[in-house]
Amino acid sequence: MAEATPARYTRRRVLDLLLGASVVAWLASVFYPVVRYLKPLPLAGPSGPARLTRADTTKLERDGFAIVPVGRERVLVFEDPSGALRALDARCTHEGCTVRYVARDALIWCACHNGRFDLEGRVLAGPPPRPLVRHNVVREEDGSITVSVTRA
């Protein structure tokens, strides 16, 4: 090993190293802005409780469920067989399709890959790996409905 040491730091080798490093630095200075540019900014906007619009309430009465935006989340609001309001995350934990409430079988169903959840959001059958997150829903005294998301 000792004989090899002098040959290690030839002028050519040092110049090659410097050249290589400057190429890497140059590439980084080109790609860093591109990578930053491609990633979108986080969305700003209200994330507090949302009140159901008249259209949402109509949907809720007509179909038994409505999907409402609360901040960045999509929330499934439905009336269970006992008449109580419930709210679950509307995004299937499998591949992110939007689920629906099937009143006849009292379950939550995702049409994309046939995932099924109970009314608490627990997986009953199919491929979803996690339960749906439960959110809070309140019927106010004036009859309006407010949904607020719980952070998982």
**Which parts of this chain interact with another protein (CB under 8 A)?**
38-40, 43, 67-69, 72, 74, 76, 90, 94-100, 102, 104-105, 110-114, 123, 126-130
Judged by CB, which is closer to another protein: 98, or 150? Answer: 98
Judged by CB, which is closer to another protein: 22, or 53? Answer: 53
Q: How far is the CB of 16 from another protein (least distance, A)?
A: 29
- Burial label for 126, CB within 10 Å (0-12, 13-18, 19+), is middle
Q: How far is the CB of 47 from another protein (least distance, A)?
A: 13
Q: Single out the residue of 83, 106, 99 nearest to residue 133, CA to CA.
A: 99
Judged by CB, which is closer to another protein: 70, or 134? Answer: 70
- Burial label for 64, CB within 10 Å (0-12, 13-18, 19+), is middle
Q: How far is the CB of 101 from another protein (least distance, A)?
A: 8
Q: How far is the CB of 62 from another protein (least distance, A)?
A: 13
CA–CA separation, 100 vs 72, rounded Å? 19
Judged by CB, which is closer to another protein: 76, or 134? Answer: 76
Q: Supply the DSSP symbol for 82.
A: T
Secondary element (H or E) of residue 37:
helix 11-38
Q: How far is the CB of 81 from another protein (least distance, A)?
A: 16
Judged by CB, which is closer to another protein: 39, or 151? Answer: 39
State how far the alpha carbon of 57 is from the alpha carbons of 2, 15, 40, 131, in Å: 83, 72, 33, 26
CA–CA separation, 139 vs 49, rounded Å? 12
